[in-house]
Amino acid sequence: MQQQRRKLKGFTLIELMIVVAIVGILAAFAIPAYQNYTNKTHASEMLNASSAMKAAVGVCLLSGSTDCRSATANNGVPASQTFDKATDDKFAVVSNVQVTAASGATNINGKIVATVDATAGKAGLAKGGTVELIPELTPSGVTWTIGCTNIGSDEYCPKS
């Protein structure tokens, strides 16, 4: 009786090392792309946080006023809105954004400013960075120009 060789099953060390190398290479590309994606998302969140202020300024401008936030009257536009840190037991939602309509700043030549918290920051966005919305009254309504200051990278600035 000859003894039959048993065939061993499994992966060799070389095969496992190749798989680990491939996963490492994929992660090297995926992590920076994900960080850029999250920073763009946080900047867009700042734009969305200012939508209530945009609506108030739009209504004010369309009703004929040219000074929607002054020392004497606010014309329905709040001075500021702060979105504080809030947590939920299922997931943490952190928003360090303040939207401001400074006195005299949201008239035809003014702007609405959404600012990242200067001490805590927000993900990869620069601390104290801003997304600015400048209204323009046109025959078809109020159009908004978006600009960013010190937000980190120009590619994070939302386009619309």
**Model-level pTM?**
0.68
- For the chain, residues with pLDDT lower than 70 are 1-4, 66, 69-74, 83-110
Dig out the tokens for 23 from the structure: 């996963």
Ordered by where they begin, the domains of the chain are 13-156 (3.30.700)
Is residue 153 helix, strand or coil?
A: coil
Across 59-129, the runs of DSSP E, i.e. the strands, are 80-83, 86-87, 92-93, 97-100, 112-116
Buried b (16+ CB within 10 A) or exposed e, 23-49: eeeeeeeeeeeeeeeebbebbbbbbeb
Residue 26: predicted pLDDT: 95
Q: What is the pLDDT of residues 51-65, one digit of tens each?
A: 888 888 888 878 877
Residue 2: predicted pLDDT: 59
Residue 110: predicted pLDDT: 66
Residue 27: predicted pLDDT: 94
Q: Look-up: residue for tokens 């046109």? A: 138
Residue 19: predicted pLDDT: 96
Residue 90: predicted pLDDT: 38
Residue 14: predicted pLDDT: 94
